[in-house]
Amino acid sequence: MKTKMLFILATLSLGLLIVSCGSDPTPTPEPKPVATATPTPGKFDGLPAGLRAIIEEAKSEGKVNVRTSGFPKEQIELLQNGFQEKFGFPVTIEHFAQHPKEYVTVLAQEAEAGKISSDIAKGGSSPNMLPTIGKGGMQDVDWLGTFGPLFEGSSLEQLKTIHGATEKEIVGHCLADTSSVYGFAYNTERLKKSEIPTTWDGLWDPKVKGLVGMMSGGFPLGTVGINWGEEKILDYAEKTKANEIVVVSGGSVGVVKSVISGETPIGIASVGTALQNKSKGAPIDVVIPSDLIPYFQVNICALKGANQSMAQLFAAWYVAEGRNLVAIAPHYQFHVTDKTGALGEILKAQGVENAPTQTWAGAEQGKMRTDLRGKVMKIWTGA
């Protein structure tokens, strides 16, 4: 009997031991490790491990949310196709439609709250980007050191050129994107090209009295004024007012519409906006001023959003190669620093490829430009 009892106890003990060594029906989950991409063998074997890791992480993210005012569908498609051809995996480009004058405040607020809802800010000048940088909302990127090995030949040279053209205040976070170049748009059904002024002084010639439209914000005379100085630009505003300049609302789009309708057969507007309409059959063309080409330098910046690796990779690829794809799209985007592509062809055809250019750099010149525009508008409107 005693022997039987000992056997039963031994059997029960063994069962308890087996249960205790088996799987726990409600195990405590282990903390999930922070995602770190491991480079896989293949297309990018020769690249530095850090860059390969960024590429792999970008692949796993799979998309990039771009905050900008306008992003035509045909551009998005060209860029998605070009990116996949380059890297061997797709990217979905999401467009968050918001103008820089609005997102300059919104992104800074999101950064302060610690939650940025986009991955890239595109289209703003340096003053538009500085508030978000100040709130810690943009990534710190060594663009050449990290992504230089990804490119070679003309692509690498283009990355270096654009990196060098990026304003110092933002270069660790952004890269120069494209340039909105201003010129003299005109209605081809109302005027011959030979009748269009080729210099800024030509706009107060009596021959074009009452025919010229300019943007209600004073663009781009604030930029021209940085080059000329306050005294000369205000004298110019007086002379153009005397020549019955027409102040048109709606920015470049409004001026271009006014030119196409014939209300103002000549208009100071974005070359890209004018040519976009020309490509659709509108009676409009453009003359680039030979004495000074003002332009609005915009940037592409990597935000601390949900897809940070893709934001870096996409931005670097975009300025090195991607923008060449959209430069031939109907939207017509340019870059002044190298004067190539569609812009270079126009400048060469008009014999002004060596014309001086002017934009503004940094917050100080940005403020100067804004102040001058305000003074010009006061002369034009009396307000």
Distance CA 76, CA 82 (A): 10
Q: Do 273 and 313 fall into the same domain?
A: no
Is 154 part of any domain? yes
Is 65 part of any domain? yes
Domain with 119 in it: 50-178+297-326
Is 206 part of any domain? yes
Distance CA 198, CA 178 (A): 24
Q: Do 172 and 185 fall into the same domain?
A: no
User: Of 258, 229, 199, 254, which is closest to residue 375 (Cα–Cα)?
Assistant: 229
Is 17 part of any domain? no
Is 2 part of any domain? no
Distance CA 31, CA 313 (A): 29
Is 15 part of any domain? no
CATH number, domain of 85, equals 3.40.190.10
Residues of the chain below pLDDT 50 = 1-37, 39-40, 329-331
Q: Do 216 and 243 fall into the same domain?
A: yes
Is 28 part of any domain? no
Q: Do 91 and 127 fall into the same domain?
A: yes
The 3-class SS string of the chain reads CHHHHHHHHHHHHHHHHHHHHCCCCCCCCCCCCCCCCCCCCCCCCCCCHHHHHHHHHHHHHCEEEEEECCCCHHHHHHHHHHHHHHHCCCCEEEEEECCHHHHHHHHHHHHHHCCCCCCEEEEECHHHHHHHHHCCCECCCCHHHHHHHHCCHHHHHHHHHHHHHCCCCCCCCEEEEEEEEEEEEEECCCCCHHHCCCCHHHHHCHHHCCCEEEECCCCCHHHHHHHHCHHHHHHHHHHHHHCCCEEECCHHHHHHHHHHHCCCCEEEEEHHHHHHHHHCCCCEEEECCCCCEEEEEEEEEEECCCCHHHHHHHHHHHHHHHHHHHCCCCCCCECCCCCCHHHHHHHHHHCCCCCCEECCCHHHHHHHHHHHHHHHHHHHHCC
pLDDT of residue 32: 35
Q: Do 162 and 54 fall into the same domain?
A: yes
Q: Do 150 and 233 fall into the same domain?
A: no
Give 3-20 pLDDT, tens digit per residue. 444 444 344 343 433 333
Distance CA 376, CA 189 (A): 31
Total domains in the chain come to 2
pLDDT of residue 380: 92
Q: Do 353 and 284 fall into the same domain?
A: yes
Largest separation between any pair of C-alpha atoms in the chain: 128
Q: Do 111 and 250 fall into the same domain?
A: no
Is 215 part of any domain? yes
Contact 185, 319 (CB under 8 A): no
Q: Do 197 and 163 fall into the same domain?
A: no
pLDDT of residue 253: 86
pLDDT of residue 341: 61
User: Cβ neighbours of residue 129 under 8 Å, at least 6 residues apart?
Assistant: 104, 121, 138, 170, 173, 174, 299, 301
User: Cβ neighbours of residue 343 under 8 Å, at least 6 residues apart?
Assistant: 181, 271, 334, 335, 336
Q: Do 90 and 234 fall into the same domain?
A: no
Angle of helix 271-279 relative to helix 341-350, nearest 10 degrees, comes to: 100
pLDDT of residue 41: 54
Q: Do 91 and 134 fall into the same domain?
A: yes
Q: Do 271 and 375 fall into the same domain?
A: yes
pLDDT of residue 9: 39
Tokens for 255, please give them: 């001026």
> Beta 212-215 vs 266-270: how paired, if at all?
parallel
pLDDT of residue 30: 41
The 3-class SS string of 84-119 reads HHHHCCCCEEEEEECCHHHHHHHHHHHHHHCCCCCC
